[in-house]
Amino acid sequence: MKKYYKSDSTKPHLMGIVCIIASAFFFSLMSLFIRLSGDVPVIQKCFFRNAVALLIAFFAMVKAKQPFRIGKGNTKYLLIRAVGGTVGMLCNFYAVDHLAISDASILNKLSPFFAIIFSVIVLKEVANKFEWLAVAVAFLGALFVVKPSFNMEVLPALVGLLGGCGAGLAYTYVRKLGQRGENGMMIVLFFSGFSTLCMLPYLIFNFTTMSMKQWIYLWLTGATAAGGQVFITKAYAFAPAKEISVYDYSNVIFSAIWGFCFLGQIPDWLSIVGYVIIIGTAVFKWYHDIHMQKTERES
């Protein structure tokens, strides 16, 4: 089998960057289609998004002739990953429906900083002072986006922040499952199946009739989400996550463009300051990690 990533080659690294930017592009379109689908309940939107992902994961495993088997002792970790991912997705979809989609995107992109916290608790990893500083600065940036106030107007932003927390928990358990040798496609299949089944009772008793346009937008939501998942998987096959993950923040730029062009959304100056702080922190942390890695190799 061809090995995609070599530390002394720039081509795989560039391909990884291209793929992760393509992933961000598709996920930003997903957020746009969520918003354009209109007044469909959030649970119904999430159901269609994950039903498509479930079908893709199922047929991918069948095509690859992979066994539908969970590794010993991994079921409880898959459940926690699925719960965290489902909460994160529901909160993110709610935020997309009630905030500028670029604001919802940047709050969801706090997940790597939440993952640092959960990695200390769950994986017993030791975060250094620089990582804790990055977490603190990123959450300072989040305050500019959330704009805390003592009224209900702040609720969508707080829900979006909770979505980033749920995603951070999910990513932490994806890593734990990876360390335990669990099949990556099984992780996707379990999460998609779990979330779809959780939402199915609501749909059976509270299904909201949709127009043809809404049906199209929801299927496009599922298709673009699948496209994003495919490209992010390809990206991490070409290059390590720690070297290219920062490019995933291009999602915020794409979301801001779609929000302006299709929804007439213009982020206020406080949100823009928050974007700069959060993305700047992520970029600086990425640069610091790469520099430390290079120093360790040379020593």
- Over 90: is that where the pLDDT of 184 sits? no
Nearest 5 degrees, angle CA 80-CA 240-CA 64?
Answer: 65
Band of the pLDDT at 256, cuts 50, 70, 90? very high
The more confidently predicted of residues 112 and 212 is 212
Rounded CA-CA distance 198/144 in Å is: 34
Band of the pLDDT at 242, cuts 50, 70, 90? low
- Interval 129-147 mean pLDDT: 91
User: What are the b/e assignments for 18-45, b being 16+ CB within 10 Å?
Assistant: bbbbbbbbbbbbbbbbbbbbeebbbbbb
The single-letter code of the amino acid at 103 is D
DSSP code at position 39: S
Rg (CA), the chain: 19
Q: Find which of 153-157, 179-183, 228-232 is predicted with most confidence, using mean pLDDT.
A: 153-157
- Say if CB 20 and CB 235 are below 8 A apart: yes
For 106-120, 200-214, 224-238, which range has the lowest pLDDT when averaged over its residues? 224-238
For 41-45, 177-181, 182-186, 290-294, which range has the lowest pLDDT when averaged over its residues? 290-294
What rounded mean pLDDT belongs to the chain? Answer: 88
Task: Specify the pLDDT at position 13.
Answer: 76
Give the residue extent of every domain in the chain. Answer: 41-210+265-298
Least Cα distance to 30 among 226, 264, 235 occurs for 226
- Over 70: is that where the pLDDT of 11 sits? yes
- Over 70: is that where the pLDDT of 49 sits? yes
Rounded CA-CA distance 152/131 in Å is: 33
For 147-151, 178-182, 224-228, which range has the lowest pLDDT when averaged over its residues? 147-151
Rounded CA-CA distance 239/258 in Å is: 28
Band of the pLDDT at 7, cuts 50, 70, 90? very low
Task: Specify the pLDDT at position 261.
Answer: 95
Task: Specify the pLDDT at position 147.
Answer: 86
pLDDT tens for 77-127 read: 999 999 999 999 999 999 999 999 999 999 999 988 998 899 889 888 888
The pTM of this model reads 0.87
Task: Specify the pLDDT at position 10.
Answer: 65
Tally Cβ neighbours within 10 Å of residue 66: 14
Band of the pLDDT at 299, cuts 50, 70, 90? low
